[in-house]
Structure 1
């Protein structure tokens, strides 16, 4: 089985921006459809990820499902970032779930930055779910994050994946 990959806009291609991280886990005994609701319902994030807050869902409701819609959230100590859904395709038994957004902070040359954050949630042939998240960032704040050791974005996104997986296991056990 070949794994799906992120569809990157040209300006966010990995290796061409100021900061890039990739995190991936495989979780046994879950399927993509168990994970998807916990990822796309933005109001659930704070219950399993301690680095998201001040969430404002899209106007249509709490689910990140309509490309073009905007939402906002605070993360990594930044004030709430404006974000726009770029891709949202729910998983099926034969195709991966895909979620991506562009987020930004306006400002001057020292404070403005832009990110592209993408997710893939897909079933494997061996009965695990693969959850991949990658983020590419441009701007001085992104370059400063990339210099930090340990890398806070890499560690933060790993906590996000681990929390998402745990929340999905717990939700499945209740059904």
Structure 2
């Protein structure tokens, strides 16, 4: 199975916080899932921890390489820029990742949030989301038990699968 591609400064184990969530389900494909993840204005319809999605520079509604966008999540207003964007094609996993940031100075939070959607044998699809974080807010999140990032991203995965199943039947 494929792995997330990590940029320098965001490799898990060397950051202030890391979370990883994954689902493998049957009956869906990467191509069916992609539009629900690649169009951020859809996120609040199945993931209530996201809101206020908007694009900069007249872009959108779909994510694309280098596009800047904004959304709110976990109580943070997040500015983000797509740093990896590969739509699904047969034999290759779909990938989307963004650098996100919130706050300034000692309260700044920097994240790398990556998604991988991969068709597997037997009519299965793997959805992996991982995030690394740096900054004082990340250190505080890492201390929380249960980890709100793990729980929140699991809710995102469950909602994503349910939303796609609701459309595909």
The interval holding the TM-score normalised by the smaller chain is over 0.9
Secondary structure of the residue aligned to 1:126 is helix
Is the CA contact 1:36–1:91 (under 8 Å) kept in the aligned structure 2? Answer: yes
For residues 31 and 112 of structure 1, the distance between their equivalents in structure 2, rounded to whole angstroms, comes to 37
Is 2:117 aligned against 1:117? no
For residues 92 and 133 of structure 2, the distance between their equivalents in structure 1, rounded to whole angstroms, comes to 27
Is 2:127 aligned against 1:131? yes
Shift of 1:57: 2.7
Alpha carbon RMSD of aligned pairs, Å?
0.9
Shift of 1:171: 1.2
Shift of 1:129: 0.7
For residues 53 and 163 of structure 1, the distance between their equivalents in structure 2, rounded to whole angstroms, comes to 15
For residues 121 and 74 of structure 1, the distance between their equivalents in structure 2, rounded to whole angstroms, comes to 23
**What does residue range 17-96 of structure 1 map to in structure 2 within 5 Å?**
17-58=15-56, 59-65=58-64, 67-78=65-76, 80-96=77-93
Is the CA contact 1:20–1:137 (under 8 Å) kept in the aligned structure 2? Answer: yes
Aligned to 1:99: 96
Post-superposition CA distance 1:105-132 (Å, at most 9, x none): 13121x1110000000010012111000
Where has structure 1 moved over 6 Å in runs of 4 or more?
none
For structure 2, list consecutive stretches of 5 or more residues without a partner in the other structure.
Answer: none
Is 2:140 aligned against 1:165? no
TM-score, normalised relative to structure 1 = 0.93
For residues 44 and 168 of structure 1, the distance between their equivalents in structure 2, rounded to whole angstroms, comes to 11
For structure 1, list consecutive stretches of 5 or more residues without a partner in the other structure.
Answer: none
For residues 98 and 142 of structure 1, the distance between their equivalents in structure 2, rounded to whole angstroms, comes to 24
TM-score, normalised relative to structure 2 = 0.97
For residues 106 and 69 of structure 1, the distance between their equivalents in structure 2, rounded to whole angstroms, comes to 20
Shift of 1:169: 0.9
